[in-house]
Amino acid sequence: MTSANDTTSPSANRSSLPRWALALSFTVAAFLAAPQAIASERDLAGVKVVQSLNLAGQALALNGAGIRYRGPFKVYTAALYTTNQVGSPAEFHADKGNKRLVLTMLREIKSSQMGRLFIKGVQKNLSPGDLGSVISELPRMGEIFSANKRMLPGEQLVIDWVPGRGMQISARGEPQGEPFESQAFFEALMNIWLGQSPADWRLKDALLGIEAHNAMNTL
């Protein structure tokens, strides 16, 4: 026990340490703090991808992230956030929590071109019968892209799903109209990246965490 007359402070004790011990203590402290800083975000083609976020009061974690390629060109990064880790399209669609997909442009792209690719992607992943149940939503989707003439590098397109509220699409941080209420349309839209005919198979695996899982198994 330290007596009332003992004036030795922790800072004094620290200053009395040899220089090598003091340096070592700072190195250990920095090493222990580093994992927290690294875990907070991930760099993907120069885009900072956060590991977690909050959507409508619910905590979401990064399920997976990857790059969309067209030929040799990087078009955008995609980051998928879910309340529970999912490893397949079936698990993703079965999950009842909030969800978010963030697309960050890596090159300039005309929104009309992206809109056509989205609509084509929806059609490729639905049977004619299922397409009929969501086809009425496609014109409104086209209007969103018509209102945004082009997307520039660094700009984001965000697709949010909140049960009971619907799907909200935002461009450059601005909500684009009212939410789409149809869950079937949200699932059809997400199948552009996660369906049986995805836009990019490597990106599909990355969003589902398959690429990261396989990498861990090879260590």
Multiple choice CATH, 42-217, 3.50.70.10, 3.20.20.20, 3.30.470.10, 3.40.50.170: 3.50.70.10
What is the rounded distance in angstroms from the CA atom of residue 122 to the CA atom of residue 57?
A: 29
Q: What is the pLDDT of residue 178?
A: 94
Per-residue confidence at 115, pLDDT binned at 50, 70, 90? confident
Q: For residue range 147-165, what is the model confidence (pLDDT) as tens digits?
A: 888 999 999 999 999 999 9
Describe the strand order of the beta sheet including 156-162 as a list of residue ranges.
52-55, 58-70, 73-82, 99-105, 156-162, 166-171, 174-175
List the chain domain ranges: 10-39, 42-217
pTM confidence score: 0.78
Q: For residue range 69-87, what is the model confidence (pLDDT) as tens digits?
A: 988 999 999 999 999 999 9
Please tell me which residue, 219 or 147, carries the higher pLDDT value.
147
State the average pLDDT over residues 173-184.
94
What is the rounded distance in angstroms from the CA atom of residue 90 to the CA atom of residue 106?
A: 29
Per-residue confidence at 211, pLDDT binned at 50, 70, 90? low
Please tell me which residue, 104 or 120, carries the higher pLDDT value.
104
What is the rounded distance in angstroms from the CA atom of residue 156 to the CA atom of residue 117?
A: 17
Per-residue confidence at 18, pLDDT binned at 50, 70, 90? low
